[in-house]
Structures are given as structure tokens and as C-alpha cells.
Amino acid sequence: MTRAVLSIGSNLGDRLAHLRAVVDALGERVVSVSPVYTTAPWGGVDQDDYLNAVVTVRDSSFDDYAWLRFGQELEQASGRVREIRWGARTLDVDVVQCRDDAGAPIVRDTDPDLILPHPQAHHRAFVLIPWLAVEPDAHLSVDGLDRPIAELLADLDPAERDGVVRTDLELRDEGARSC
């Protein structure tokens, strides 16, 4: 069994519908869903703002590669086209971190298709802020050191943090588990 942290984002088409489709497709695997945030695009490509969220998930039959494949299938189903690095997208699903049955982080640093933990997550407030909202005690391994998400977030430039703005949008029905 693995537990994963997925960062989801969209800035093309019906952004909220794309994010909701992820949560719906994950179904019973969902442990928690963060609030939805709006963020400026990252990476220097001129484009519309993103809606971002974090979903924590668990499945006894999924390993880290299964989470990657599942995310890629959802991206394809949304019509995502990969033309420009850091360009606009209907849906982006990133596997930020996976943990095994014992709760130990899964580390992959030699496979170009899946690097875990996500090599840039600690630099991205649009990942850390939603993650902190659903797992205030979460940690991420950075350069071999297990660091609290709150600490990583505090290390970011204040402008980066301030650019992640919570919305009133919801990814789940009122009665469902979310933050």
C-alpha cells in the first residue's frame, strides 16, 4: 500500500471541473482534499492563472508508479497537450510524495519519469500551502533531510507565498471530508 500527496492544477477550460474530475476519479482513495487556491503561473510562460489544490490519497494496490500512471491518464482524459514546458494546461497532476506501508518516504532519484519526492515541490508555494492546509504536521525530504512543510514554506520568498490565494471554491460536496 502507498499513501501519496498529489498536487493538481488547471488553467485552461473549466479549471474547477478539471480539478473536481480528479477528486471524483480517485473516489474512495481520497484521504483529504485541500481548499482551492488561485495562483499566478510558474515558470515564466505568459498564461492565465491556475487553480491549485492538494489531494492526499491511499490505496493498497497502488505503488508510486501506479499513482504516476493514474495522474497521466487523468491528464490525457482532460485533453492535456504537452507542447511548452511550464505552459498552460487543462490539467496537471504531480506526484509530490509517496510513503510505503510503514510510513517511510519512497525515494526515486534515478528514473527520469518519476523522481520522488518531487524535486521542485519545496520551492513551490502552490504545493506547500494547500498541503499544509490538509496535513499541518507533514514533512518532505529535501536533499536527504526530512523537513516540516511549514519550515519549507517559511523559507520561500514572501511574494511567492502571498501569490497563493485561497478561494471559496470546493472540490467536494459539503458533507465530504475536506479542509
Tell me the domain boundaries of the chain: 2-119
Q: Between 3.30.70.560, 3.90.1300.10, 3.90.1150.10, 1.10.3720.10, what CATH number should domain 2-119 receive?
A: 3.30.70.560
How does residue 151 score in pLDDT terms, banded at 50, 70 and 90? very high
- Spell out a b/e string for 147-173, using b for 16 or more CB atoms within 10 Å of the CB, else e: eebeebbeebeeebeebbeeeeebbee
pLDDT of residue 80: 65
Q: Tell me: the pLDDT tens digits for 17-57?
A: 999 999 999 999 999 999 999 998 866 667 789 999 999 99
For residues 75-92, average pLDDT: 75
Distance, in Å, from the CA atom of 28 to the CA atom of 51, rounded to the nearest integer, reads 23
**pTM tops 0.95:** no
Average pLDDT over residues 83-106: 82
Sorting pLDDT into bands at 50, 70 and 90, what band is 83?
A: low
